[in-house]
């Protein structure tokens, strides 16, 4: 494992499904030079490849539920130890989603001798994300799965805002607007939080 470079950023982006988080995460990671890790993309790739993980995750994902914390914490710990992330930093998208995952992330970074810089909450109201998700027609976007994911978000993921807030790591960004407007707000918020 290579020594961590202190300028590499370690960021988390939080936001309801359909908030535009995935699109913005790709742009932010590119602009700040860090590696974009989407746990949803990792799981979808495992499902497509038919791996053991994919087989375990598929039914849970299609029903809008959450894959177990132990599985997720293991996958992320392994990925975060890779050289590209140790050197360039990371933008985590879709993880942590529960307080158990947030605790695990804190331990993983502490073991590596690094720390999270900022958690961004990309805020878009429930009514707007519901409309967007129904319009995008992904295979796991049935109305029931959307409703389940949004209610799980309020139950399990929204409390993480307090978790990050208590550590003075949270920055809120208004996610309503054009893609470029939201990107500009996010970039500015990250720059400001590092000063």
Stretch that binds ligand AMP, among 66-74, 78-86, 173-181, 183-191 (CB under 6 A): 66-74
- From the CB of 2, what's the least distance to ligand AMP, in Å? 26
Active site residue 21: yes
Q: What is the rounded distance in angstroms from the CA atom of residue 181 to the CA atom of residue 183?
A: 5
Q: What is the rounded distance in angstroms from the CA atom of residue 42 to the CA atom of residue 109?
A: 20
Distance from the Cα of residue 48 to its chain's centroid: 21
Q: Which residue, 11 or 66, has its beta carbon nearer to ligand AMP?
A: 66
Stretch that binds ligand AMP, among 29-37, 46-54, 57-65, 174-182 (CB under 6 A): 57-65
Asked if residue 73 binds ligand AMP (CB under 6 A), the reply is no
Please state the φ and ψ torsions of residue 116, each to the nearest 5 degrees: -70, 140
SS3 154: helix
The distance in angstroms from the start CA to the end CA of the chain is: 29
Q: Which residue, 67 or 122, has its beta carbon nearer to ligand AMP?
A: 67
Sites for ligand AMP among residues 131-190 (CB under 6 A): 149
Active site residue 138: yes
Q: Which residue, 131 or 188, has its beta carbon nearer to ligand AMP?
A: 131
Strands (E), the chain: 9-14, 35-38, 89-93, 118-123, 170-174
Asked if residue 66 binds ligand AMP (CB under 6 A), the reply is yes
Look at strands 170-174 and 118-123 and give their pairing: parallel
Summarize as ranges the residues that interact with ligand AMP (CB under 6 A): 17, 39-40, 43, 60-61, 64-67, 72, 94-95, 97, 101, 149
Residues with a catalytic annotation lie at 21, 97, 136, 138, 149
């Amino acid at each position: 494992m290579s020594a961590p470079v202190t300028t590499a950023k370690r960021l988390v982006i939080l936001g309801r499904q359909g908030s535009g988080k995935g699109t913005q995460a790709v742009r932010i990671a590119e602009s700040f030079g860090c590696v974009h890790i989407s746990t949803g993309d990792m799981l979808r790739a495992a499902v497509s490849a038919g791996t053991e993980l994919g087989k375990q995750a598929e039914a849970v994902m299609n029903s809008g539920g959450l894959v177990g914390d132990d599985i997720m914490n293991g996958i992320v710990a392994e990925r975060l130890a890779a050289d590209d992330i140790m050197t360039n930093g990371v933008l985590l998208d879709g993880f942590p989603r529960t307080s158990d995952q947030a605790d695990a992330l804190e331990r993983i970074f502490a073991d590596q001798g690094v720390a999270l810089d900022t958690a961004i909450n990309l805020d878009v109201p429930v009514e707007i994300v519901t409309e967007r998700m129904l319009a995008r027609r992904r295979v796991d976007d049935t109305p029931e799965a959307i409703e389940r994911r949004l209610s799980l978000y309020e139950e399990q993921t929204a409390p993480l805002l307090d978790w990050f807030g208590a550590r003075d790591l949270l920055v809120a960004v208004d996610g309503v607007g054009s893609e470029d407007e939201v990107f500009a707000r996010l970039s500015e918020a990250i720059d400001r939080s590092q000063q």
